[in-house]
Amino acid sequence: MPLMAAEEIGYHLGLIMPDEKEDTDLFWLPRTGEKPYAGWGVQIYNPEFSPDQAFRRLGIPLRMEFNLIDEFKTPAQARDYLERAEEADEDILMCYEFEKLFGQHPGGHANVFDRMVDKDRVRMIDPGRFSPKWRVVSLEALFEAMEFHGADKYGGFWRLIRTDA
């Protein structure tokens, strides 16, 4: 993968934020505007900002597969998915409603799946600037937060897959 700023990747994924100095001062090329229906952040549901398009434009040899929450009927099915991903050493992002899981800051949020702690808990890496970098959460609570966010807002699991070019 070429060396580049995370902000550049975010920009190509449609990263949008409120036009507030405390947010925009952190970026060299902030995109601001009206709050999208899925909330502030990346707009990967928009074809212009799809991960596969962004990766191609940036020369990043990855593609993204979405396994949205409506594909899973129970937390146990999600656990099986994560256990298989962990065993295969796959890279998974998890998208959910932040407020539903943590009781603050409404909107979608994505974390990197780290590992299953046990059958009922997940450890994740959180990129949020005010969040602890490692979090352990109940799988059932995470599942509910994904359902609350909804498949229409890409709640669920996002798998990164290496390509040859």
CATH number at 99 reads 3.90.70.30
Residues 80 and 124 in one domain: yes
Count: domains in the chain: 2
pLDDT tens, residue by residue, 85-100: 999 999 999 999 999 9
pLDDT tens, residue by residue, 89-128: 999 999 999 999 999 888 899 999 999 999 999 999 998 7
Residues 54 and 68 in one domain: no
Q: What CA–CA distance (Å, rounded) separates 14 from 108?
A: 14
- Last residue within a domain, chosen from 15, 30, 60: 60
Residues 79 and 118 in one domain: yes
Residues 71 and 143 in one domain: yes
User: Looking at the predicted structure, is the pLDDT value of residue 165 above 60?
Assistant: no
What is the percent of the chain where pLDDT is above 90? 78
Domain range for 21 is: 1-60
pTM for the model = 0.91
User: Looking at the predicted structure, is the pLDDT value of residue 25 above 70?
Assistant: yes
- Last residue within a domain, chosen from 17, 37, 60: 60
Residues 94 and 155 in one domain: yes
